[in-house]
């Protein structure tokens, strides 16, 4: 799938600007703080209905304005689709072909993207939160069912935590078992999907990693949690764990077990990479993960996603840069950088120069 054009209105530092994208490589060039990442962020927002950079949509609205509007036309093998997000301080409206959606989850899958920034290069070294976020965003783009299950899980988790925080032990004794039943149900759905996804991603990551390291090391991924095989069994196990942890959770004031605490285990040559890999190894593994995600999306959707490479080229050494460019050839890519010549080596591209929230 490709994004044909994008219009930003009162989005971040853009007042009003329209971009036309080519099928292959699109390069947004400009000095720092001009709006390159903002543009990349808007594309990502239309793919996921959320931003990678922030928690509150409010920051996306141009200072002094009431709402921001992102509009794009995308093309997939199913035809053209117009996607629009209207972002207010406390709510947002999502439109597909002019029709307002009742559920945000229906926005997903119209256009898929893989976002890659220096933050993602730290995916292996960073804490489990980042790896879970990678999983959640990635799986949600290919499975609305996952997104729904995860949303319900987090909502119930929040309610359970609120109850624990109140420290009303009678209320806890009475209501917790009811919450736990619900929590375990959605937990199991989340866990099973994550496990399936990682099982599919692992050989692709292995393949990309072998390509990046010339077959030097073995990379493998799996969900780092001890759950039995089936969904029902997993649900029973989570329920048991929640019951076992109940007293501790009451003391702590939050839920200490469940998929919101799980992690991805990344192994390089059989050793746990988190904490042990050198910076170079960790970056290469992260790059392999992102390339694998790209390939997996291609298999799920039958066509490649839009790749967004925000400022990553300058973070990679020359051989990795060249390998990356080679590997993504033919996939639509929106790449941001400050000096195109230094990172592209004459690769043909649609160059868009940005200064102060405007194309120049
Ligand atoms: N809500 C907003 N309203 C106005 N300007 C904003 C808003 N959010 C961010 N900016 C501005 O956008 C600029 C950063 O843009 P960014 O896309 O991150 O730069 P870069 O080109 O380096 O990637 C900064 O000057 C920042 O002040
Ligand atoms: Mg930037």
Cβ of 143 closer than 6 Å to ligand 1, yes or no, is no
Cβ of 33 closer than 6 Å to ligand 1, yes or no, is yes
Q: Indicate if 282 and 340 belong to the same structural domain.
A: no
pLDDT grade, residue 53 (50/70/90)?
low
Q: Indicate if 106 and 185 belong to the same structural domain.
A: no
Q: Indicate if 145 and 294 belong to the same structural domain.
A: yes
CATH of the domain at 205: 1.20.1050.90
Mean pLDDT of all residues belonging to the chain: 93
CATH of the domain at 7: 3.40.50.300
How large is the average pLDDT for residues 303-318?
92
- The minimum-distance atom of ligand 1 relative to the CA of 35 is 17
Q: Considering only 53-67, 74-88, 242-256, which range has the smallest mean pLDDT?
A: 53-67
Q: Indicate if 220 and 93 belong to the same structural domain.
A: no
Question: Strands 113-116 and 306-310: what pairing?
Answer: parallel
Instruction: Dump pLDDT digits (tens) for 183-225.
Output: 999 999 999 999 999 999 999 999 999 999 999 899 999 999 8
Boundary of a domain, candidates 287, 304, 321? 304
For residue 110, report the distance from its CA to the centre of ligand 1, in Å: 27
Q: Indicate if 177 and 34 belong to the same structural domain.
A: no
Boundary of a domain, candidates 288, 304, 320? 304
Query: Between residues 94 and 343, which one has the greater pLDDT?
Result: 94
Q: Considering only 24-28, 104-108, 232-236, 262-266, which range has the smallest mean pLDDT?
A: 104-108
Q: Indicate if 128 and 268 belong to the same structural domain.
A: yes
Cβ of 37 closer than 6 Å to ligand 1, yes or no, is yes
Query: Between residues 338 and 51, which one has the greater pLDDT?
Result: 338
Chain-centroid distance, C-alpha 47: 10
Show the domain range for 180.
118-304
Q: Indicate if 287 and 143 belong to the same structural domain.
A: yes
**Counted domains in the chain:** 2
Ligand nearest to the CA of residue 314, numbered in listed order: 2
Q: Indicate if 228 and 351 belong to the same structural domain.
A: no
Which region, left, alpha or beta, applies to residue 192 given φ > 0 means left and ψ of -120 to 50 means alpha? alpha
Q: Indicate if 185 and 311 belong to the same structural domain.
A: no
Ligand nearest to the CA of residue 53, numbered in listed order: 1
Q: Indicate if 231 and 291 belong to the same structural domain.
A: yes
């Amino acid at each position: 799938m490709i994004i044909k054009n994008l219009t930003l209105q009162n989005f971040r530092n853009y007042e009003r600007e329209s971009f036309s994208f080519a099928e292959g490589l699109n390069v947004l060039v400009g000095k720092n703080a001009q709006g390159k990442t903002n543009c990349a962020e808007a594309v990502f927002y239309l793919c996921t209905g959320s931003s990678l950079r922030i928690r509150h949509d409010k920051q996306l609205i141009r200072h002094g304005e009431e709402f921001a509007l992102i509009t794009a036309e995308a093309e997939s093998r199913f035809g053209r689709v117009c996607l629009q997000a209207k972002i207010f301080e406390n709510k947002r409206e999502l439109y597909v072909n002019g029709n307002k959606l009742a559920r945000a989850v229906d926005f997903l899958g119209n256009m898929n993207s893989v976002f890659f920034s220096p933050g993602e290069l730290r995916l292996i070294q960073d804490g489990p939160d980042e790896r879970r976020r990678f999983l959640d965003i990635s799986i949600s783009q290919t499975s609305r069912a996952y997104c729904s299950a995860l949303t319900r899980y987090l909502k119930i988790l929040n309610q359970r935590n609120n109850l624990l925080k109140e420290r009303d032990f009678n209320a806890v004794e009475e209501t917790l078992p009811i919450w736990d039943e619900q929590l375990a149900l959605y937990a199991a759905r989340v866990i099973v999907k994550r496990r399936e996804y990682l099982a599919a991603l692992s050989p692709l990551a292995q393949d990309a990693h072998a390509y990046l390291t010339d077959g030097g090391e073995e990379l493998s991924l799996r969900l780092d949690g001890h759950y039995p095989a089936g969904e029902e069994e997993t649900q029973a196990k989570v329920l048991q764990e929640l019951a076992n942890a109940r007293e501790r959770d009451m003391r702590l004031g939050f839920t200490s077990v469940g998929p919101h605490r799980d992690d991805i285990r990344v192994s390089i040559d059989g050793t746990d990479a988190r904490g042990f890999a050198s910076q170079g190894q960790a970056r290469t593994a992260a790059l392999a993960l992102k390339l694998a995600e790209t390939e997996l999306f291609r298999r799920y959707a039958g066509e490649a996603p839009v790749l967004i490479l925000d400022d990553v080229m300058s973070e990679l050494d020359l051989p990795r840069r060249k390998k990356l460019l080679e590997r993504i050839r033919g996939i639509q890519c929106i790449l941001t950088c400050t000096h195109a010549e230094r990172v592209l080596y004459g690769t043909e591209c649609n160059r868009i120069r940005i200064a102060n929230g405007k194309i120049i």
